[in-house]
Amino acid sequence: MSTGPNETAAPTPERPRPGASSASAPRVRHLRAHVVIVVWLALALITATTQHTLPVAHWLAIHLFLLGAVTTAIMVWTEHFAVAMLHAPPPDPRWGGVRLIALNVSAVAVLTGVAVDWPVLAGVGTLGVVAAIIGHVAALVRLGRGALGGRLAPVVGYYRLAGVALIAGAVLGGLLATGALGEAGRTGVELAHIHVNLLGWVGLPIVGTLFMLWPTVLGVRMEDRTVPVARRVLWLTGLGLLLAVPALLLGARWPAVAGLAVYAVGVGWASALFLRTVLRRAPRSGASWMLAAATCWLVVGVVADLGLMATRELSHLDPALHGLLPVLLIGFVGQTLLGALTYLLPVVLSGGPTDRAALADLLDWGWRTRLVVLNAGVLLLFLPLPAPVGAVGFGAAAAAFAAFLGLAAAALVRSREGAVTGGAGGAAAWRAPLAGAGIGVLLIVFALVAAGLPAGTTSGGGGSGTAATGTRTVEVELKGMAVSPSRIEVAPGTVLRLEVVNRDTQRHDLRVEDGPRTPMLGEGESHLLEVGPIAADLEAWCTVPGHRAAGMSMTIAVTGSADGGAESEPGHGHASPDGLDPAAEHSDGWEPRSAVLPPAEEARVHEVELRAVEADIEVAPGVSQRMWTFGGTAPGPTLRGKVGDVFEVTLVNDAEMGHGIDFHAGALAPDEPMRTIGPGERLVYRFTAERAGAWLYHCSTPSMLQHIGNGMYGAVIIDPPDLEQADREYVLVSSQLYLGEPGSEGQVAKMREGRPDAWVFNGGAGQYAAAPLAARAEERVRFWVVAAGPSDGIAFHIVGTVFDSVYKEGAHLVRPDDPGGAQVLDLAAAQGGYVEAVFPEPGHYALVDHDMRRAEAGAHGIVKVTP
Amino acid sequence: MTGVDLWTIVRFVHILGAALWVGGQLALSLVILPLARRMLSAEAREGFVGAAGRRFGLLTVALFVPVQVATGVALAWRAGVTWESLAAPGYGRVLAAKLVLFAAVMLLAAAHGWAHGRGRRDLARALAVAALVGSLGVVLLATALSGA
Ligand SMILES: [Cu+2]
């Protein structure tokens, strides 16, 4: 063998097998594999062009392309090139066939499992993909053992590493596809999945192969420094991925950026080498131009990805990355596939030089036009142009692909005939089963489509009214502050499923009254909601604050029901447990929220982590209410310090909607520290408490009425410098309580009209009547009070005592040695202060809001004074 | 024997029949026929393959199809499936697709027997594989049904 660049692309000779025609066996295998690749590509193309009609189609098209076509192609070609580059004897073709079949069957299982929403099948398919790739990596490793090892043997390292990347990527994908993850870690897993698959499994083999393929296609000798560069680029890209992917998983943005930057340096280095090769001889063939353009798109894609990641929080990255997908999927991956196949198919499928030239001619047909149309299409998709332009771009790219598919199919048919006539029945033996399998698969695909695979076929306003009892699936779109259809009519008893798709850039969800709710859905995400049998009319709405009020609601009406008319029955359904029962008992295991205020810590810097999280809290005897909280309690934890202390508060948003935080105790510009952060994000809020007082902190996200009203508030106590020691200290945060589904129309209306269901101290109606605060006779007890609102203040009074100390909003109004006394600490919403009382003798002293409406509706408690 | 009622038995027979038929096809095409091709002479193979095919075909027509249809209709009746509900998305549509695919598979299997009898080997093989793949699709839809 010569050591020219062409060696590697030549088909490697096979050891003859008994009973098989020796010359055509590898050719037939290539033929079969490429038929499969072409079929996957065709399915991907069909799905992508019809994607506006099917909700899962976007996902499906991408995975038909990457998991079906590209993964099969990579598996076939990396093994082929590895044999050539290592000068190794070819591995047992039967096992190679088994791996390919396992991969393809598993891919079908994954795609079907996700499409028909059957997670078990998707999970089994994922395991199959992983098993096939483990076999593939093992085969690559085995090839390297005892092989002579050509000059380009290091490139095989790219293939092995890529296999490992796919194993990781497939496992992550499986977690996503089977829904094994909750909502919490999804963003990180998605980002890691995308990056490890696209840059690892797909990117590494392409870059590695180009070291050999690029000069081969150009018809020049390799650069002398190719091998050392290939080695270094492998290290850089490998290390970059090794840093970036775990960082993305963990949500650590800057390490991810660093990893991606290292990867980009590797790609840049390789590209520089490729560029030097071009300078010696310009590309002339279709294959070379396509590979060149694809490499350019890779550089654009990686750099753009790096830029996006460096300028955006990870949780906001996903929608932006979707804009980048056309560049990477069509411009880079797809075009590489086109270019490589244009060059390689004639090499591996031809029976001789004339045949090869004819096949090459066939595949080169019209390449200039196709090249320009394809890349213009990608450019249109990449640039931030209005939607119709993007559609034109997609159409152009799709047309270029379809043209290539036609040519490739023609080439395959042609060479199959050649293989049949020339190759003594080897191919003919496979032709019939292959055709049969094709017919079978087509039948299944049609059956799945007919079965309503994405189940969206009865979208639109519903109201056909003819559906018999049974299951009915309706596609529901969230878009433009509306739910469409806004009304669905079903026969009584119909089992209803809603295929909810968010077509909006904002996040939304859909909650069915007394029923299930979707998770918060990002743009393009969908969720299947099993509503179950419908017996009575129901409302469904988006729970993001304000969105329901803006019109994001729908009616599920039972046909023939009394109020089945066109009116949308306001008020129906959000029947909150109005009217608290004062005689009710707290549930077993209920614990009061401790009112004891410990002294300030000595440390001058207070580091606090507050997690915004939704929690069900017993807010009144026997009444549980979903609250939005800082740290799982409403009010959130009380912070205490001295004048001059620094508070470094890390807000982590574990909730499904955006939240922020605002500390009244510190002064700084609201823009940055009080900004709203999305789910999964964190924010550090650092302030110096320059002044003493009893301060409020609360959520800073609009609607603040709703965020505070749903529990996102707490107290910060900054001791006045001359604060005397008291025997006991309690903190009481007063607020209004609004029952009902947070953010629902009914609850928000009550907030707007100032009609709370109760007034509470520390979040619980009457909780200190059920669990009195303790004190001893003659003790000096200090009560810190903060009025959290959201709207009402408080007239704080303790029955049977006289306050000899009143500190309100930064000033001592009464001191113990003053002749005057006080009966009430009056605070407007968001004000704070303290009072002190000395309890004269044992007994039960009621603490109340002396606005008696409020005292009777929850704002009361007992101080139990013992001897 | 609490918990095992008549309907459990009907469902068992339905699933067992499907498993036997699909499994029988798989065994024939993956084990028996390849072995026959390798180990028997051309004449013996011809005779053996033909006899095996006829036996399986007979079993299909005489036992499998009646049992599947009878148990299937009974199960559908019990589930309250009506003709209109077959058109409704969800369970009905999946069931309809399964029935159509099942019918197609049976047609393919019948055509296979015909082609084999006429000595059109390639066509017969293609039809056999198509029927096999198609029947896997029937099983797939059946599993989707039980999840719906
Ligand atoms: Cu909030």
What ipTM was predicted for this assembly?
Answer: 0.83
pLDDT on residue A663: 94
- Is B1 inside any structural domain? no
Ligand 1 centroid vs A183 CA: distance in angstroms?
Answer: 18
The model's confidence at residue A169, banded by pLDDT at 50, 70 and 90, is: very high
Q: Are A666 and A739 found together in one domain?
A: yes
Report residue A544 as tokens. Answer: 């993001």
The model's confidence at residue A80, banded by pLDDT at 50, 70 and 90, is: confident
Query: Residue A231 pLDDT more than 60?
Result: yes
Ligand 1 centroid vs B101 CA: distance in angstroms?
Answer: 53
Quick one: which H or E segment has residue A307? Answer: helix A286-311
pLDDT on residue A188: 82
Q: Considering only CB atoms, which chain B residues are within 8 Å of A433?
A: 125-126, 129
- The b-or-e profile of A443-464 (16+ CB within 10 A means b, else e) is bbbebbebbbbbbbbbbeebee
- Work out the mean pLDDT of chain A and round it to a whole number: 82
Q: Are A732 and A821 found together in one domain?
A: yes
Sorted by sequence, the CB contacts under 8 Å of residue A47 that are 6+ apart come out as A54, A57, A60, A61, A64
Contact A440 B133 (CB under 8 A): yes
The model's confidence at residue B81, banded by pLDDT at 50, 70 and 90, is: confident
Give me the residues of B, 82-111, that contact A with CB < 8 A.
82, 84-85, 88-94, 96-98, 100-101, 104-105, 108
pLDDT on residue A267: 92
Ligand 1 centroid vs A359 CA: distance in angstroms?
Answer: 64
The model's confidence at residue A423, banded by pLDDT at 50, 70 and 90, is: very low
- Is A684 inside any structural domain? yes
| Whether B75 contacts chain A with CB within 8 A | no
Contact B141 A448 (CB under 8 A): yes
Neighbours of ion ligand 1 (CB under 5 A): A 659, 699, 701, 707, 712
- Is A770 inside any structural domain? yes
Query: Residue B122 pLDDT more than 50?
Result: yes
Residue-wise pLDDT tens digits, A651-700: 999 888 889 999 999 988 888 888 888 888 888 899 999 999 999 999 99
Q: What is the mean pLDDT of residues A590-611?
A: 91
The model's confidence at residue A649, banded by pLDDT at 50, 70 and 90, is: very high
Query: Residue A25 pLDDT more than 80?
Result: no
Of B94, B126, B131, the CB nearest to A432: B126
What's the gap in Å between the CA of B28 and the closest CA on chain A? 14
Q: A850 labelled as ligand-binding?
A: yes
- Is A148 inside any structural domain? no
Q: Are A803 and A747 found together in one domain?
A: yes
The fraction of chain B above a pLDDT of 70, given in percent, is 91
Q: Considering only CB atoms, which chain B residues are within 8 Å of A416?
A: none
Q: A63 labelled as ligand-binding?
A: no
What's the gap in Å between the CA of A66 and the closest CA on chain B? 23
Q: A664 labelled as ligand-binding?
A: yes
Query: Residue A220 pLDDT more than 80?
Result: yes
Of B90, B100, B133, the CB nearest to A473: B90
Give the least confident one: A559-563, B19-23, B35-39: A559-563
Interface test with chain B among A39, A114, A439, A530, by most B beta carbons within 10 Å? A439
pLDDT on residue A223: 80
Q: A712 labelled as ligand-binding?
A: yes
Contact A450 B93 (CB under 8 A): yes
* Ranges A403-412, A551-560, A805-814, most confident: A805-814
Peptide bond into A816 cis (omega under 30): no
The model's confidence at residue A22, banded by pLDDT at 50, 70 and 90, is: very low
- Is A497 inside any structural domain? yes
Q: What is the mean pLDDT of residues A337-346?
A: 87
- Is B33 inside any structural domain? yes
Query: Residue A728 pLDDT more than 90?
Result: yes
Q: Are A751 and A858 found together in one domain?
A: yes
Query: Residue A712 pLDDT more than 90?
Result: yes
Q: Are A610 and A689 found together in one domain?
A: yes
Looking at chain B, which residue has its C-alpha nearest residue A112?
B140
Give the least confident one: A156-165, A563-572, A607-616, A850-859: A563-572
Contact A437 B82 (CB under 8 A): no
Rg from Cα positions in chain B: 18
pLDDT on residue B2: 45
Q: What is the mean pLDDT of residues A571-577?
A: 34
Q: What is the mean pLDDT of residues A62-82?
A: 89
What's the gap in Å between the CA of B91 and the closest CA on chain A? 6
| Whether B76 contacts chain A with CB within 8 A | no
Q: Are A686 and A795 found together in one domain?
A: yes
The model's confidence at residue A417, banded by pLDDT at 50, 70 and 90, is: low
Q: Considering only CB atoms, which chain B residues are within 8 Å of A112?
A: 140
Query: Residue A13 pLDDT more than 50?
Result: no
The model's confidence at residue A4, banded by pLDDT at 50, 70 and 90, is: very low
Q: What is the mean pLDDT of residues A62-84?
A: 88
Question: What is the distance between the alpha carbons of residues A786 and A670, in angstroms, rounded to a whole number?
Answer: 22
The model's confidence at residue A321, banded by pLDDT at 50, 70 and 90, is: confident
Q: Are A517 and A611 found together in one domain?
A: no
What's the gap in Å between the CA of A79 and the closest CA on chain B? 27
| Whether B30 contacts chain A with CB within 8 A | no
Residue-wise pLDDT tens digits, A831-848: 999 999 999 999 999 999
- Is A43 inside any structural domain? no
- CA atoms A545, A550, A556, A557: torsion sign: positive
Q: What is the mean pLDDT of residues A497-524?
A: 82
Q: Considering only CB atoms, which chain A residues are within 8 Å of B147?
A: 118
Q: Are A725 and A805 found together in one domain?
A: yes
Number of domains, chain A: 2
Q: A195 labelled as ligand-binding?
A: no
Q: A136 labelled as ligand-binding?
A: no
- pTM listed for this prediction: 0.49
Task: Return the higher-pLDDT residue of A581 and A107.
Answer: A107
Q: Which domain holds residue A503?
A: 471-558
* Ranges A45-54, A333-342, A726-735, B65-74, most confident: A726-735
pLDDT on residue A410: 78
Q: Are A792 and A699 found together in one domain?
A: yes
The fraction of chain A above a pLDDT of 90, given in percent, is 34
Kindly give the pairing relationship between strand A511-512 and strand A623-630.
unpaired
Interface test with chain A among B91, B112, B135, by most A beta carbons within 10 Å? B91
Interface test with chain B among A106, A112, A444, by most B beta carbons within 10 Å? A444
Number of domains, chain B: 1
Cα-Cα end-to-end distance for chain B: 27
Of B121, B125, B144, the CB nearest to A116: B144
Query: Residue A5 pLDDT more than 70?
Result: no
Give the least confident one: A85-89, A125-129, A444-448, B52-56: A444-448
Q: A844 labelled as ligand-binding?
A: no
Sorted by sequence, the CB contacts under 8 Å of residue A43 that are 6+ apart come out as A64, A68, A445
Q: What are the backbone dihedrals phi and psi of residue A756, each rounded to the nearest 5 degrees, phi first?
A: -65, 160
Contact B143 A467 (CB under 8 A): no
Contact B137 A437 (CB under 8 A): no
Q: What is the mean pLDDT of residues A509-517?
A: 82
Sorted by sequence, the CB contacts under 8 Å of residue A626 that are 6+ apart come out as A614, A615, A616, A741, A742
- Is B137 inside any structural domain? yes
- Is A645 inside any structural domain? yes
pLDDT on residue A530: 80
Q: What is the mean pLDDT of residues B16-36?
A: 86
Query: Residue A55 pLDDT more than 60?
Result: no
Are the C-beta atoms of residues A681 and A251 closer than 8 Å to each other?
Answer: no
The model's confidence at residue A629, banded by pLDDT at 50, 70 and 90, is: very high
Size of the A and B interface in Cβ pairs below 8 Å? 119
Q: What is the mean pLDDT of residues A850-855?
A: 92
Are the C-beta atoms of residues A670 and A704 closer than 8 Å to each other?
Answer: no
- Work out the mean pLDDT of chain B and round it to a whole number: 81
Q: Are A611 and A523 found together in one domain?
A: no
Q: What is the mean pLDDT of residues B6-14?
A: 86
pLDDT on residue A88: 79
Of B93, B131, B132, the CB nearest to A452: B93
Query: Residue B139 pLDDT more than 50?
Result: yes
What's the gap in Å between the CA of A64 and the closest CA on chain B? 18
Q: Considering only CB atoms, which chain B residues are within 8 Å of A18?
A: none
Q: Are A670 and A794 found together in one domain?
A: yes
Residue-wise pLDDT tens digits, A449-473: 666 544 333 333 333 333 334 677 8
Q: Which domain holds residue B77?
A: 6-146
Contact A452 B143 (CB under 8 A): no
> In CATH, what number is assigned to the domain containing residue A748?
2.60.40.420
Nearest in space to A254 (alpha carbons), one of A336, A314, A333, A189: A314
pLDDT on residue A660: 92
pLDDT on residue B11: 86
The model's confidence at residue A266, banded by pLDDT at 50, 70 and 90, is: very high
pLDDT on residue A183: 52
Q: What is the mean pLDDT of residues A477-491?
A: 81
Q: Are A475 and A538 found together in one domain?
A: yes
